Amino acid sequence: MRVVRLNTWDRLAELEASWNLLAADMPMRSWDWLATWWKHYGPRPAHVSEGEERGAGRGGSIGLFVLAVYDDGSEGRLVGIAPWVLRQSAVRGRVVRWLGDGEVCTDHNSILCAPHDARRVAARLGEALAEEFDDWDRMELSAVDAGDVAVSELAAVLAEQGCSARTCAGDACWVLELPPTWETYLAGVSKSHRKQLRQLERRVLQSSRCEWHTVENACDFEKAWPIVVDLHQRRRRGLGEAGCFASRAFHDYHHEVARRLLKRGFLRMSWLALDGSPIAAEYGLAGSGTTFAYQGGVDPDRLPEEPGRLSTILFLQRAIAEGHTRFDFLRGNEPYKLHWRAATKSMQSYRIVANRPMARLRGRALAVGDALSGLARQGVRRLTVEASPPPTNNTTAMRGSVVILPN
């Protein structure tokens, strides 16, 4: 197989149709999601001034590092894509990361290929990284599904080439397995939760006070978009946070990518009005069998009316009506996900250090720094736990753990 490195926008744009075929029905792996990310988070987009840092996030530079794998046949068919960027800084060196990295929080990252091609595509990429494209020091590949064949095979091949390859558990996604009907779902939750949901349906959702608006076309989108942004920002500011859309790059990226996904049938955006005023909004994605809950917002002045719960009921009902079998709340350990009976789906992060002297030296130095930072975090957590009262009223105390990876 032949591996070609793509490092310009024009080369990236040429792959749109083939890329989307390989991404199948995973919106966050699509050309729309990842290539649009490069437009907004690559080096100096048009709206960023000369003096403003962009791209590497913490300083340094960033470049495309997309590797396209072609079959050896006469047609030269595209069989795999490694959707990467190369970030370079004085401290971390030259680091390969996923397109979609950073504040966008892309989940379910992977090398794009058909399942039956996963091992041979990954093996060929490993060979190319060791022999042909060796201008990298480190790979930091996060938010990968546990058991992902292509990425685990890549790590194994690079380890055989003398690289240091480590994995650790990442933040889990929360996935709800959906039954065929809403009544079946209700039958599976606790008696008290079932009673609450049915009361909300009768008292609010089935009343004349309630209007639910779904985005079906470009006109709907332009009306819904400012509502999503406003409700999200107001809620986060009420909690003392800046809110995701305070970032101009984040706002502009999602305004463009959501419109692209709408055209392809991947967008699931809606907003709920109560007594004529928006109180909740959802920004989700959809594949052929899964709805992904990406972002949302509620009116902080109307929390007693449970806008978040009302909106989630409608969002889940829509997913079930569409015949989806999974509802993916994505990463984050927010308590409400467990409340809806979602279960964790394990995710992994891969850290691979190149088999070159300077890369190994820098890797060891970073490992020491990570270890010291981990010990400091453990100390802070221990003090916090010791200072906190024990859980009451059958509340379960959930504690995280720090995993330190040597290189």
Domain limits, the chain: 2-171+346-367, 179-324
**The pLDDT of residue 69:** 96
Domain 2-171+346-367 shares a fold with domain 179-324: yes
**Amino acid letter, 77:** R
Closest residue by Cα to residue 79 from 17, 19, 11: 19
d(CA 106, CA 331): 9
The segments of the chain whose pLDDT lies below 50 read 45-58, 384-407
**The pLDDT of residue 371:** 67
Cβ(399)–Cβ(375) under 8 Å?
no
What pTM, to 2 d.p., does this model score?
0.85
Buried b (16+ CB within 10 A) or exposed e, 131-141: eebeebbbbeb
Q: Phi-psi category of 143—alpha, beta or left, where left has phi over 0 and alpha has psi -120 to 50?
A: left
**The pLDDT of residue 331:** 94
Phi and psi at 189, nearest 5°, equal: -95, 175
Cβ(385)–Cβ(399) under 8 Å?
yes
**The pLDDT of residue 317:** 97
Sheet bearing 164-169, strands edge to edge: 61-64, 84-89, 93-98, 138-145, 347-353, 164-169
The CATH number of 2-171+346-367, from 3.40.640.10, 3.30.530.20, 3.40.50.970, 3.40.630.30, is 3.40.630.30
What CATH number does the domain located at 179-324 have?
3.40.630.30
d(CA 160, CA 138): 16
The residues with which 267 forms a beta bridge, in sequence order, are 285
